[in-house]
Structure 1
């Protein structure tokens, strides 16, 4: 039996938040091709329509359901979560990859930008993944995945609020994992380095190396989710790099230019 002909009741169900471009869009395409029924959520409806057409064509069957949504509208999330799960006929996997990283000058302290990063990168994630945690803890199964960043491993000089939002997200996911692990629920923290996305293209500061494609990142994320991994650096070499960075003494770290 092929993925395209698998009965609907046997198809795993996934939600991807932040799906209109980059890693999120690649995840929707990869999951649909792997046989998932996928709910794709993002602000840009036109992008979602294009994504659905492309992913359904690649999958050879209609697999993608789209929902225009801004993660900053946290008051609608509980009802929207229930609607999406009902439309899918259940839920096996949820991936939160919505994120923003506006350009911040070295001498800039713009609270509006800081607030936007915290609301999208952290609070929106908590609002969505709390709903998934409630459901999965009741059913005794499920997979939660959060796309954090290597930027959350230590507070570096540039963009304090971005590092804080990603660091907070990583700690939230770790706490969620410790709470849910004995209830049959896996929680995976993904920490990418540089991925060839619109967000990276708009960043004008800092060097960029070891850049990977969204498709390569999505492939590794899906593998990590299905294996129930805990923390995964993408690409893997970032794990060693960040281990070293985390252990640099503060007196030295403050003198570094990054």
Structure 2
């Protein structure tokens, strides 16, 4: 389905496998008085932190491409942004459909006229239901979305930004990835893997003028919080986290925790000896 007048684009058709090389796609254009280099793609934009970032970046003058699975939520968010005189295009996509990514990325870059910032927010959390419970299918789904989904999108984007020697990648990891805890090994693993992948991209791309920001939120007051097991201290609104992230983007920081207190909490947790840490029940 494609309704061009409303900028609503739905990709549900089967797309043949594509090469992941996007060297033939449009590159981020040079800054000019008519092009302030503010074009952003948010992957996982339908609600929570992704929607909060969309509203914040739209207010800051970005032209946006918003991508998520929920057509209804995307349509509502686009209408909200458009009502405020800002620009957003929406794309319905399941990020586990990896073979569709290269073609859709080319489409988004062409629609925006270039690309300067990419934010990967998409993520799922399926707790096993207790520290004595195991669920491989849920663990697999979390890896497929939180880690492989991120790599499917950020790998061709990194290649594009590398060639252009410009751009910024923002990945939403988690404090859950800083150490393996008993509560949800699959989620811990997916976020630890994402943080390591982002660090590797940073080490590769910084020398080419590309910034890679890793964001490690604690508890956010979103639908995902309902899946958390146990206490949820220092939970903050997604709007506060979005403000922290955009501020870090402007300063081209490399790693942030939000709320900032989590930096010190996780430092303390990382210093706990393994013989003690394995006895803890969180």
TM range, normalised to the smaller chain?
over 0.9
Question: Match for residue 11 of structure 2?
Answer: none
Give aligned pairs, total. Answer: 249
Question: Match for residue 166 of structure 1?
Answer: 191
Contact 1:11 1:35 in 2 (8 A): no
- Of 151, 158, 161, 1:136 maps to 161
Contact 2:98 2:152 in 1 (8 A): yes
More helix by share: 1
Question: Match for residue 48 of structure 2?
Answer: 22
Aligned CA RMSD, in angstroms, stands at: 1.2
Question: What pairs up with 1:8-47 in 2 under 5 angstroms?
Answer: 9-10=35-36, 12-47=38-73
Question: Match for residue 223 of structure 1?
Answer: 247
What is the TM-score normalised by the length of structure 1?
0.94
Contact 1:11 1:37 in 2 (8 A): no
Contact 2:205 2:211 in 1 (8 A): yes
Question: Match for residue 244 of structure 1?
Answer: 268
Question: Match for residue 148 of structure 2?
Answer: 123
- Of 158, 161, 177, 1:152 maps to 177
| CA apart distance, 1:16 | 0.3
Q: 1:8 to 1:109 in 2, by over 3 A?
A: farther
Question: Match for residue 189 of structure 1?
Answer: 214
| CA apart distance, 1:75 | 0.6
Contact 2:68 2:74 in 1 (8 A): yes
Contact 2:44 2:123 in 1 (8 A): yes
Contact 1:151 1:167 in 2 (8 A): yes
Of the structure 1 ranges 157-166 and 103-112, higher mean CA displacement relative to structure 2 is found in: 103-112
| CA apart distance, 1:222 | 1.1
What is the TM-score normalised by the length of structure 2?
0.86
What stretches of structure 2 of length at least 5 have no aligned partner? 1-32
| Residue aligned with 2:118, SS | strand
Q: Stretches of 4+ moved more than 2 A in 1?
A: 7-11
- Of 203, 207, 215, 1:178 maps to 203
Q: Output one character per residue of 1:129-182: Cα deviation in whole Å (capped at 9) or x when no partner.
A: 111101100110100000000000000001101000000000000000000010
